[in-house]
Amino acid sequence: MNTPQNPWLQAAQQFQQSALQQWGQMLQAHPSAATPQPAFAPFAAPGGVDLNAMLSKVVGQPVQVEPTRLLQIQSDYLKDLAQLWNQGLQVKPPQDKRFAAPAWSSNPLSAYAAAVYQLNARTLVALADAVQADAKTRARIQFAVLQWIEASAPSNFLAFNAEAQQKALETKGESLAQGIKNLLHDLEQGHVSMTDESAFEVGKNVATTEGQVVFENELFQLIQYKPLTDKVHQRPFLLVPPCINKFYILDLQPDNSLVRYAVEQGMTTFVVSWCNPDASLAHKTWDDYIEDALIKAIEVVREITRAEQINALGFCVGGTMLGTALAVLAARGEKPVASATFLTAFLDFSDTGVLDVFIDENSVRLREQQFANGGLMPGRDLATTFSFLRPTDLVWNYVVGNYLKGETPPPFDLLYWNSDSTNLPGPFYAWYLRHTYLQNQLCQPGALSVCGQPVDLGRIDIPVYIYGSREDHIVPIAGAYASTRHLPGPKRFVMGASGHIAGVINPARKGKRSHWVGSTEQFPPQLDGWLASATERPGSWWTDWADWLKGHAGALVAAPKGYGSRKYKAIEPAPGRYVKVKA
């Protein structure tokens, strides 16, 4: 079902679509026929979109730019443009990985297009920064302008991409022919290929840790993994991945599987494998997922292992859901979880970074109207949104490689997982948008009622391990740290290098990147205060976390010899059926 969208988002999408149409038309153009296009002319927008009209559409009212700054921007632009013009055919392409190939330097037209593009981009960013508006409006303008800038890069157009032209000549047109094949293939599958998807199969070379499905209902399957040690800790361990993605980000391949690593540490390990919703689940709500998935999974793990308490981990949205479930259980006077780990997860949504530009009252109300009687939020729409948070790396890089150069991207398990999207029940999604991103009520004691209970994170009085990634654009590091303000029990906060996924999936044995640890007694209100006294350590945060988890996992006992229990018998081998269902 299509619904109206915010003007700023429509503008950003128009830029993307316009640029896609342009490079699609240029795909069959001969390099010798190339002439400068409006996309690279001074102050011109892709497809002839007027800049002032675009910014006004983004804001929803006439745009006002501070006059003094506007004059300075115009002056700087004209001066830099004159310098480029005076260089003539001696212009060199800017220092940018998109223009780094020698072919860009040896082709004057392409070099000039790249240099003018960089000047235009710099000027547009300055104009967006100069708009007189509140912080959120300015952030939306900056986001829309970023989409425009990235879509307009001359590297995205065969008429200007000297590297793609050179390859076409060297291969006698074979690269262009292959590019068209790649384009038709991606149109058929419905998304741009980021990796050679034919190289992977779930259960064959990803999601391969040995185990059995020991419980299932309409929302999830529960997988129990085979022990890899003779003895295990008494207290079992449950991993809750985000339902917006499939669980095997935590179990890609043996050498980068967090699931396998937990099993190797002597944990009796379980994971929630979410159902990929279809129309039969289009009415499911946040309450349904908390009661019938999170709380049910905790109950089943306890029953199978006969443990009074378990340890649990929630990743991303899975962490938000875990925190909600623990608050509901606490309100009921129950404490079945002894310790919790929150990986790049929001409990406090006061700092959501760039995602904040997507959320306002109108956009949330539209979703609520759309899903008032049920429905599905398509996984592909969500995946596209996340990709355009990093458009150069996750969109245009593959457009250029796949279609202009006729290349097949190399096999990469993480990107295969990234392309394997999942749907969400519409009512679940609309509730999530309003009460977390828009109103930030989860961290306000008593502001929400979930499963008939008032939610108060302050009642989750258990040890917690909170991890955030320094360069995360989905859960900014300050947003992850904010959880320390609301959880009253013993805390350990750790910051890892890199982003939302690469920071988390950082195998201990590879010794890559760094992580930072700090005091477990003092947690200043803001992240900067914690960083001031934090200590950097080389290598993955996994080892630090494993040592912490073992401290809450109880004594070592003989490993179980089978799966499940009399009540919960093994159903099928891991990774199960649910994870294989395509959106």
Cβ-contact 527, 176 below 8 angstroms = no
DSSP-derived secondary structure letter, 252: S
User: Of 275, 316, 443, 451, which is the active-site residue?
Assistant: 316
Amino acid sitting at position 60: G
Distance in Å from the first CA to the final CA of the chain: 16
The answer for residues whose C-beta is within 8 angstroms of residue 335's C-beta and 6 or more apart is: 309, 329, 462
Q: How many helices (H) and strands (E) does the chain have?
A: 21, 17
Separation of alpha carbons 242 and 240, rounded Å? 7
**108-130 and 162-170 helices cross at what angle (nearest 10)?**
150
- Long-range CB contact pairs, 111-118, < 8 A, 24+: 111/162, 112/84, 113/36, 113/40, 113/154, 113/160, 114/154, 114/155, 114/160, 115/84, 115/91, 116/40, 116/41, 116/42, 116/81, 116/84, 117/40, 117/152, 117/153, 117/154, 118/94
Catalytic annotation present for 243 = no
Dump the DSSP string for 464-486.
Answer: EEEEEETT-SSS-HHHHHGGGGT
Judge if the upstream peptide bond of residue 488 is cis by omega within 30 degrees of 0. no
Closest to 490 measured CA to CA, from 423, 402, 552: 552
Tokens of 346: 């929001």
Just list the catalytic residues: 316
